[in-house]
Structure formats: C-alpha cells, structure tokens
C-alpha cells in the first residue's frame, strides 16, 4: 500500500474512534423546517455519483476523493444553496475493503456539513454493493494491509476482543446501517429511513419545503425514491408506487402543491425521450453532454403511470449515467439527469452539479449546470 493510501486509512481509523462514540438525534422537521427565504427563493444543489472510496487501497483512489471534495466546495461556494441532495452512488461500496463504509459516506457529506448546509440522500446501485475482490490481490503482491475501523481496540490486558474482530471483514455496510449512521450523527441531515414494509428499498420519504409566510404551510414537496441496485435488483417496486400514491393523495389531495421526484437510476421513460447521441441535444431538450445511452431501471411497476397522471409533479431527477446531463419533456413533466459530480466512477467529462432554483411567488422552477471551473450552462425553465 502506498504512503498516501496508508495515511488515509490511519485518518479513517482515528475518525472511526470518535464516530463510534457519539450519536445525535435526527433533526425535527418542524423545529428546523426547510423553508423559502423571505425573498421567496429556495435553491438546491444536486451532487450525483461521487463514488467515494473507489479503489480505496491505492494512491489513485484517495486522490479522486480529494478531487470530489474540491468540486463540491467550488459549487457550494459559488451557488450558496439552501439545501443539498446527494443523488446516489455516494460511495463505491464494491471497492471498499472495510466493513464500516459509513466513514466514507460521512466524508462525502463533509463539504455541506462544514458550511452548515442541510442535506438529504437517496441510495444508488453502488452504495451497498458487495465487495468485489480485485484479481491482482491474488498475485505475488498479495492482499494489501486492511485496517478495520472500530475494531482496532486494544484492551487493558493488551489483547483484542475476538467478538469485536468478528465484524472485521468485507461484508460491507447495509443501506439501513448507512442511513442510520448518517441520521444519528448529523444534525443537518434530513434523510429518513423509509417505511419498513418497502424493504429492501430504504430511502423512500418526502420532505416539505414550507412557505416563507408560514413554516407549516407547504409550498413544494420533495419525494425521494430508492431505485434499487447493489444488494437487490434495480427497480422501483409496485409497493413503492402504491406508497407514493397513498402519501401524495394524503398530503396533497387536490394536487395543488408542486412535487419534485429524486431517484438515482432513471426509469425506462427516459429512453423514450433521450436524444440520439450522434445528433447531439436539440430543443425541446436542454443539456450539454449526451455521450451514452440511458441505462434505466430493470423494469417499471406502475410508478411512471402515477407520475404522468399527477399534474402536480413537475420534474424527475436522476443520476447514474455519468455521460448525460440533459433535461427533456415527457408528457406533462420533465425528465432530467444531474451532472456527474465525483471524480470516482467512469468517464472523464468535466465535473459539476445540477442546480435547482425555485421561487415561491410567483411559482417558478428553473435549473442549470454549475461546473467545477465556475462556468454555468444549460439553463432550463421546468415550471412557471
């Protein structure tokens, strides 16, 4: 293991010792509601496909995490958003040779946390993927030294507790453990572990953005749906679709309040509106890169039919495809990709973030891409 990579693991161990001690209550949405500002504005930055922890045992991997830190810092300092959404594939769990992937997850959130910006997360297909053994580990160089956070605990007699070490393996960290650690250790997290009857999907919840006039008066609803992958198929189940329908009819029965959807893997509907790669992006679609074909969910079990029949839904945002950043209209709503933010993951396209800007009165939803170098492009009005 190279010196920089070893140093990273030592830093992680030190962080783990403090991370394993303190826990905090999740924030009360009524005590700290998301809310339009006094000047009727609310801005969201989407960070997609960060892929922290990729090739974590090499010097290259930690360097990519440093680069991802830089991208998010640049975007946050330029845009100064009110809220951040981590749109899946926060980590590359299948590359993490430690049991406690929450440490990499926590680092990915640090740019927002250090600036006091609240956030929420939704799972992607890499976030709880099982560890994939690199074939080179079976060559003459062998398996590199692996440090197991929270397990390197020496007791007064100098021995190590075998029951603690039993958790030191490459089994990975489940969705439930990842989101629980995030919620319990971060006052700024608005993530919610969704209804247990929707398991194995976890990140299914809704957040309210309140009116500037009254914190209990909803102005916009933000829905988060776990699109699967990793430990189970890449799907939004019929149970999730029914949950969304019940939830939306309960809190927005007349569909008079705008709703926006966030998930990681695009639905098959994205393929229907996708621009042909060889012809570029043309109106009514808006974007700057169209370098690959849509890689959608494996199947659809009713969710898009519900979306189309619900006039309050203005847009759906996805990550997953690193080489796509377009928005295209689909019937009565917009289907949008974010922008590949992290230096982990495939592709060498310039990094950036999709920004979502809303005004309350009059209601307007606009979006654009903010790049790492500060440039801005692909402005589109999603609702007015």
Q: What are phi and psi of 185, to 5 degrees?
A: -110, 5
Residue 164 token pair: 């603690």
**Who contacts 344 (Cβ-Cβ below 8 Å, separation ≥6)?**
49, 50, 51, 52, 53, 54, 61, 64, 65, 68, 92
pLDDT for position 97:
74
Q: Percent of the chain beyond pLDDT 90?
A: 68
* pLDDT-derived band at 171, boundaries 50, 70, 90: low
CA 122-247-298 angle, 5° bins:
50
CATH 1.20.1300.10 fits domain 42-133+170-381: no
373 pLDDT above the threshold of 70: yes
Cα–Cα distance measured from residue 220 to residue 366, given in angstroms and rounded to the nearest whole number: 14
**Who contacts 231 (Cβ-Cβ below 8 Å, separation ≥6)?**
128, 129, 130, 174, 175, 200
Instruction: Indicate the SS3 state at residue 65.
Output: helix
pLDDT for position 180:
94
pLDDT for position 19:
34
Q: pLDDT tens digit string along 209-246?
A: 999 999 889 999 999 999 999 989 899 999 999 999 99
48 pLDDT above the threshold of 80: yes
C-beta separation of 333 from 258 below 8 A: no
pLDDT for position 44:
98
Round the average pLDDT of the chain to a whole number and report it. 85
Q: pLDDT tens digit string along 339-371?
A: 999 999 999 999 999 999 999 988 899 999 999
What's the mean pLDDT in 21-28?
Answer: 37
What's the mean pLDDT in 199-209?
Answer: 94
308 pLDDT above the threshold of 60: yes
pLDDT for position 16:
34
* pLDDT-derived band at 5, boundaries 50, 70, 90: very low
- Report which of 321, 331, 335 is spatially closest to residue 289, judged by C-alpha positions: 321
- Report which of 207, 181, 163 is spatially closest to residue 104, judged by C-alpha positions: 181
Which sequence spans correspond to the domains of the chain?
42-133+170-381
Cα–Cα distance measured from residue 332 to residue 160, given in angstroms and rounded to the nearest whole number: 61
pLDDT for position 145:
66
167 pLDDT above the threshold of 90: no
C-beta separation of 87 from 125 below 8 A: no
C-beta separation of 202 from 194 below 8 A: yes
* pLDDT-derived band at 118, boundaries 50, 70, 90: very high
């Amino acid at each position: 293991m190279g010196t920089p990579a070893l140093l990273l693991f030592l830093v992680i161990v030190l962080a783990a010792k403090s991370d394993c001690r303190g826990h905090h209550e999740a924030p009360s949405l009524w005590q700290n509601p998301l809310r339009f500002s006094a000047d009727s504005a609310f801005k969201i930055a989407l960070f997609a496909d960060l892929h922290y922890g990729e090739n974590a045992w090499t010097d290259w991997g930690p360097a990519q995490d440093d680069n991802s830190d830089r991208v998010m810092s640049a975007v946050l300092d330029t845009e100064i958003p009110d809220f951040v959404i981590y749109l899946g594939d926060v980590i590359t769990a299948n590359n993490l040779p430690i049991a406690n992937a929450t440490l990499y997850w926590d680092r990915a959130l640090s740019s927002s946390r250090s600036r006091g910006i609240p956030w929420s997360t939704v799972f992607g297909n890499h976030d709880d993927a099982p560890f994939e053994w690199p074939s080179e580990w079976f060559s003459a160089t062998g398996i590199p030294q692996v440090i197991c956070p929270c397990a390197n605990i020496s007791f007064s007699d100098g021995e190590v507790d075998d029951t603690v070490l039993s958790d030191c393996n490459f089994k990975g960290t489940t969705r439930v453990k990842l989101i629980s650690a995030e919620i319990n250790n971060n006052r700024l997290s608005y993530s919610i572990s969704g209804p247990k009857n929707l398991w194995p999907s976890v990140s299914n919840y809704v957040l309210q953005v309140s009116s500037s006039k009254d914190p209990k008066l909803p102005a916009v609803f933000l829905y988060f749906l776990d699109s699967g992958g990793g430990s189970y198929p890449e799907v939004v189940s019929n149970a999730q679709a029914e949950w969304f329908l019940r939830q939306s009819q309960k809190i927005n029965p007349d569909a008079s309040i705008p709703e926006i959807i966030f998930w990681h893997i695009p639905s098959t509907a994205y393929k229907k509106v996708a621009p042909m790669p060889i012809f570029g992006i043309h109106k009514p679609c808006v974007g700057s890169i169209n370098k690959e074909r849509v890689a959608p969910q494996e199947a659809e079990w009713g969710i898009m039919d519900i979306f189309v029949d619900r006039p309050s839904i203005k847009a759906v945002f996805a990550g997953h495809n690193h080489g796509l950043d377009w928005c295209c209209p689909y019937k009565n709503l917009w289907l949008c990709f974010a922008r590949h933010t992290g230096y982990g993951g495939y592709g060498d396209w310039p990094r950036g973030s999709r920004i979502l800007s809303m005004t309350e009165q009059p209601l307007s939803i606009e979006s654009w891409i903010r790049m790492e170098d500060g440039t801005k492009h692909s402005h589109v009005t999603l609702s007015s």
